[in-house]
Structure 1
Amino acid sequence: MSDKDKLTYWQLRAVRNEQKSHDQANRKVDTITRAYVRSQNYLTDQVNGIYQRYFGNGQYTADQIADILNTTISPSELVTLNALTKNMTDAQSKKQVKDYLSAMAAKGRITQLEELKAKAYISVKQAASVEIGQSTDLYTKVIQDAWNQANAEGIIGDVTQDVHLYEKGYVPELNKADKTIKIVNPETGKTITTVKALPDKAITSFKQLSGDYVKQALDQHYLGKNYSQRIWHNTDQLATRLDELFTAQAMSGMTEHDMSLAIEKEFNTGIFNAKRLIRTEANYFHNQTKLDGWKAHNVKEYQLVAVLDNRTSTICRNIDGRVFKVSEAKVGVNLAPMHPNCRTTAIAYYAGSPYTGTRTANNPNTGETFQLQQGKTYQDWEEIINNHK
């Protein structure tokens, strides 16, 4: 495919927007990680308290530990446990904890072991509540940004016969008030030309997008679940693994330090799953929203663009630059995310587009950037950097 067949400006913009989404996800990851660490520290302190109070430095058999853990606690302790849900912002996570504690209260007799497992469950759900809140905030922004980008790509496609944009040249500015696109020279600030943009017939206002559309998008199931269900599933699994740590047999073979390390290991797994989930889902919402936007503008084809670095998967290396029909788009087959932690993005594709230019690439061997012709793919980039070490 020749250079003129590439959407230089929008290809670069798509990659930058995906990177922006990825960076936003990383900032959310930091907040979520801190929530998991807080939960881990709380639970570790509670477990250490039991070790120090009952076990000390002595060696106890499984039967002796079972006797200790089977002692009854005061029903008033449930009030303390209920108070831990006070700051939970996710209604479903709070309900899950309330239901858990209600089932405990119905038993009448509550043991030390049951209280410990309840604290493990609550600590995990506290982290889940933060994760859902941060994820919802991120995905809402990603959806809105992707929709605006898809609209711009669709409008540009409508005016490609009238306007030529170049990588080092002109910048389009959309005026929503009079539905026009102004082409501006970034160096002089002067308007080159103004063309009429086609109105958005599918979703006519940002208000509707930020309400009904976003809610519907967030409720979409990707591989059988929406993101909230995945978070609840992941944290349920974490709670189950912690539950398995707190048995007389397991604790009889662990020192206080051993138990702290075991708890840390399980929470690290939870953090890993949270990171993978938010990055993958952000990519999903980004590309799925663009797909909906293209359909609204009757865009027929799209192109996949992989990130040019050594972290790119084999799948995405091989699919970089390929063009597919919008009507045949399928996540995981010809639309990102192709795999967990996927960074590949999609752009609207117009055959015979007059856009020309180059694509910025990195050389990991030298740390320098260079310009790669738009007709080149990941394989071409790889060959170049291998020849310039």
Structure 2
Amino acid sequence: MPSDYVAPGQEYTRDTAYIESRITADGADGWRVEPDRYRLIVARACPWANRMLIVRRLLGLEDALSVGMCGPTHDERSWTFDLDPGGVDPVLGIERIQDAYFARVPDYPKGITVPAIVDIPSGAVVTNDFAQMSLDLSTEWRPFHREGAPDLLPAAQREEMDAVMRRVYTEVNNGVYRCGFAGSQAAYDDAYDRLWTALDWLEERLATRRFLMGDAITEADVRLFTTLARFDPVYHGHFKANRQRLTEMPALWGYARDLFQTPGFGDTIDFAQIKEHYYVVHEDVNPSGIVPKGPALDGWLEPHDREALSTGGSPFGDGTPPPPPRDAELVPQHATPLPGGVAPVR
């Protein structure tokens, strides 16, 4: 998760000083796309890392890009591999993702964040620029996509989609954090108003189209979904983004359920880890460390009936749904309201 800080009395500002190296087909930055060379490090709790899990699943990059999972909590040093036997990542042989940052830049002074992609031979982080990373999976890693991988960045819609994604990022993805970490009443009030202005815009937009760009899923939907999945469990209460619950916004709630029930989306969501991360790690917001038992999550499986907004065809456009998750990457059953796994796409 990108590093967070707030100055008392001020608006929350996200630290965006990332390692901006890119892994490309031509290796222009010194890092060439190669299967089995890199390891994607994520935490299911983190919305920015969750994006990468979804895109990797949709594009079918499991064979080319392995994944390492950090646990849901961390200390001031970094995320840890406490879910793995012995607390050590089995490929990188490290206990903390911090070690991979230090292998790249000794005494790395910036935020130790996920997602990050690590060069396995050197053990060094290549990049933690989460916004560019998912775009590169669609473009630079294309030779390793599965047959039937959807086009998440359709060229004909790219200009409009980039504008939508910018607004989603500044006002919604980051907007909930501006509410939760506001350093003053005035900063909170401004953040709250901006967030709900954007959510009302999205509610109106999604009332007439199945997905953000039309009939097919794109990168824009991936970016919005990970915030919506955390909205009622975390952001509504913990971050005081509480004008309404997601379940009280018909278009957004139907849209979120539609994506949740689509292979590649809901099967990456671990609600238990999400709640544990926010309520335990954010001691300044929740000093008791108590994790709430609610809200009820069974509504995620309710019919959404959003197919009626589509002109036909698959949510994957000319592509196909991804296969089921691999056994090693399944979300524990206790973490999800899906007793039998994700419902098939309709």
- State the TM-score, normalizing by the size of structure 1: 0.23
The structure whose residues are more often strand, as a share, is 1
The structure whose residues are more often helix, as a share, is 1
